[in-house]
Amino acid sequence: MNPTATPIRAATACKALLIILLTFPAASALANSAAHYFESVKQDPVKLRQFLQQFPKGGDLHNHLSGAIYAESYLAWAREDGKCIDLDTHIITPPPCGSAANLDEIMADASRTPMEPIIDALSIRNFARRSISGHDQFFATFDRFRSAAMGRFGDMVAEARRRAGRQNMVYLELMLSLGMLEVAQLAAHSGRLDRPFGQRINHAEVDTIVDAVVKQLDDIEIRQKQLLGCSSEAAVTPTGCDVTVRFQAQVLRTFAPVQVYAQTLLAVKLIQADPRVVGLNFVAPEDHRIALRDYRQHMRFVAELSAAFPSRPAGIALHAGELTMGLVPPEDLGWHIRDAVATAGATRIGHGIDIAYDDDMDGLLKTMAKQDVMVEINLTSNDVILGITGAAHPLPTYLEYGVPVTLSTDDEGVSRIDLTHEYQRAATTYNLGYSQLRGFARNSLQYSFLPGARLFDNPEKGQAVSACANQDLGSTDTSRMCAEFLAASPKATLQWELEKRLSAFEARF
Ligand SMILES: [Zn+2]
């Protein structure tokens, strides 16, 4: 017998007991009939799916727009747009097709060219059957469908909104990289990091890119509203039209330092210029050699640029600690989360998987809880990309320390999931109670980058700030003070809408 087996098993058992103690619904929640019903169907995947699909989930704060789209949609749009596909590499390309296949021709006769392997190549579907890691398959998909996305951003937002609406969600914070390649190109030609601030990049040229992105956002808005059929005259609101959408500018972290700097500058300028852009994020594989090499420098870029503008960016969310033993050398583990919080001033961490490797995990977790730094948990993504599942995932540890968390999808199209799937996965894997899931839903708006004051002092307990204390949450009949508070805060207004939906949902049980 392995001599270390007994203590490990004992520790695991202790942790399991702790999770049960921590997650067992409080007495008041048990009395709640929705919580009761939830416990009764937790082991029934069919009834649990239905319950969680209808359960009001607030929003999805970690959702990359290009990864949110299902392969079937990309193929349909690329076909309509006359695009092509290389049948060996499965990369979609713009016309003329040359040696690549014309998508319209091959899709018109499915008997000759089966679409199944193409859909597999554009997602992680069936990847376990192939001789490729989840990590490599996952990230390879983006190059394959990149061309299909061009000219279709409005269609993509419409798809994400409609899917969210069907799942009783009210908010999406979508990440996208508009203008990032252009500004990176500008920086490659004329950027100089050794110059003083203001002279490193030509700010006037960056401002021209800002204007072009704002115009693109206008076009996206018009197109997606058209597709969804959102109009004030409609008798019944079409699915998705009541889902509020905001964007995060995503910086690609695998470029040269001056290019990452320029992208961060663009992100900050976009947040200043357009209220639809509410935050910034750093993306692309965190284990990429350049992302690892330049990580500390990137965090300093964020700190410097967010301090250099009159109103600090509304939101800094950073992918940090999406790493694990074996994927990178041990020296690269255990400090990205700390640096994102301490140097860059991130108020939201994406993934946070490698927390166990920090030199003082206990101290860091206490700091995160105290400073109210939230973690966006992406269970399926962590399983596929990192092979982290079950007890190896730090979600229970974050909960134990009172670090705020919410659930998100990361790339629901590539992973072929939706947010309901992630709630179901969390509930069954970690035996979570109804009040905890409701806390996740509330956190998704409480920690969103929407402007305005927050509704809750304590989201999990449903304890509202003093202006709305002692009010029935979600009620249409509120005190004048509460009504004024809500009117002044777009964030709290949406939070109130979530409470209205939660009350209606819970009243059904
Ligand atoms: Zn992500």
Dist. CA 233–CA 242, nearest whole Å: 14
| CA of residue 381 to ligand 1 center, whole Å | 8
Q: What does the pLDDT read at residue 21?
A: 44
| CA of residue 141 to ligand 1 center, whole Å | 14
Q: Name the burial class of residue 237, with classes exposed (0-12), middle (13-18) and buried (19+) by CB atoms within 10 angstroms of its CB.
A: middle
| CA of residue 288 to ligand 1 center, whole Å | 14
| CA of residue 64 to ligand 1 center, whole Å | 6
| CA of residue 464 to ligand 1 center, whole Å | 31
Helix (H) or strand (E) holding 292: helix 289-293
Q: What does the pLDDT read at residue 225?
A: 94
Helix (H) or strand (E) holding 277: strand 277-283
The tokens for 32 are 């709640």
Looking at domain 58-67+151-450, its CATH superfamily turns out to be Metal-dependent hydrolases (3.20.20.140)
In one letter, which amino acid is 391?
A
Per-residue pLDDT of the chain (509 residues; tens, 9 = 90+): 333 333 334 444 444 444 444 444 433 443 489 999 999 999 999 999 999 999 999 999 999 999 999 999 999 999 999 999 999 999 999 999 999 999 999 999 877 888 888 999 999 898 777 778 889 888 999 999 999 999 999 999 999 999 999 999 999 999 999 999 999 999 999 999 999 888 999 999 999 999 999 999 999 999 999 999 998 787 888 999 999 999 999 999 999 999 999 999 999 999 999 999 999 999 999 999 999 999 999 999 999 998 888 665 569 999 999 999 999 999 999 999 999 999 999 999 999 999 999 999 999 999 999 999 999 999 999 999 999 999 999 999 999 999 999 999 999 999 999 999 999 999 999 999 999 999 999 999 999 999 999 999 999 889 999 999 989 999 999 999 999 999 999 999 999 999 999 999 999 99
Dihedral sign of CA atoms 312, 349, 386, 92 in order: negative
The tokens for 51 are 């319950």
Q: Which residues of 98-137 are buried (b: 16+ CB within 10 A; e: fewer)?
A: eebbbbeebbeeeeebeeeebbbbbbbbebeeeeeebbeb
| CA of residue 287 to ligand 1 center, whole Å | 13
| CA of residue 285 to ligand 1 center, whole Å | 9
| CA of residue 353 to ligand 1 center, whole Å | 12
Percentages helix, strand, coil for the chain (3-state, rounded to 5) are 55, 10, 35
Q: What does the pLDDT read at residue 130?
A: 73
| CA of residue 408 to ligand 1 center, whole Å | 9
- The residue ranges of DSSP E strands in 106-165, in sequence order, are none
| CA of residue 283 to ligand 1 center, whole Å | 7
| CA of residue 445 to ligand 1 center, whole Å | 18
| CA of residue 62 to ligand 1 center, whole Å | 6
Residue 309's SS3 state is: coil
Question: In the chain, which segments carry CATH 3.20.20.140?
Answer: 58-67+151-450
| CA of residue 216 to ligand 1 center, whole Å | 23
Q: In whole angstroms, how far apart are CA 240 and each of 64, 94, 123, 363, 412?
A: 18, 30, 24, 42, 17
In this structure, the dihedral spanned by the alpha carbons of residues 47, 50, 54 and 59, taken in order and rounded to 10 degrees, is: 110
The tokens for 377 are 């948990």
In one letter, which amino acid is 188?
A
Dist. CA 398–CA 406, nearest whole Å: 11
Are the C-beta atoms of residues 455 and 468 closer than 8 Å to each other? yes
Q: What does the pLDDT read at residue 389?
A: 97
| CA of residue 67 to ligand 1 center, whole Å | 9
| CA of residue 111 to ligand 1 center, whole Å | 36
In one letter, which amino acid is 5?
A
Residues with CB in 5 Å of ion ligand 1: 410
| CA of residue 348 to ligand 1 center, whole Å | 12
The tokens for 240 are 């998705």
Full 3-state SS string of 63-78: EEHHHHCCHHHHHHHH
Q: Which of 431, 439, 429, 378 is nearest to 403 (CA)?
A: 439
Cross-strand partners of 247 = 174, 277
* Residue 88, CB-side half-sphere exposure with 13 Å CA sphere: 2
| CA of residue 279 to ligand 1 center, whole Å | 14
| CA of residue 488 to ligand 1 center, whole Å | 31
Name the one residue in this structure whose structure tokens are 């004048």: 480
Q: What does the pLDDT read at residue 312?
A: 58
Helix (H) or strand (E) holding 20: helix 5-23
| H helical segments located in 24-102 | 27-31, 33-41, 45-54, 65-68, 71-80
Are the C-beta atoms of residues 57 and 167 closer than 8 Å to each other? yes
Q: What does the pLDDT read at residue 31?
A: 42
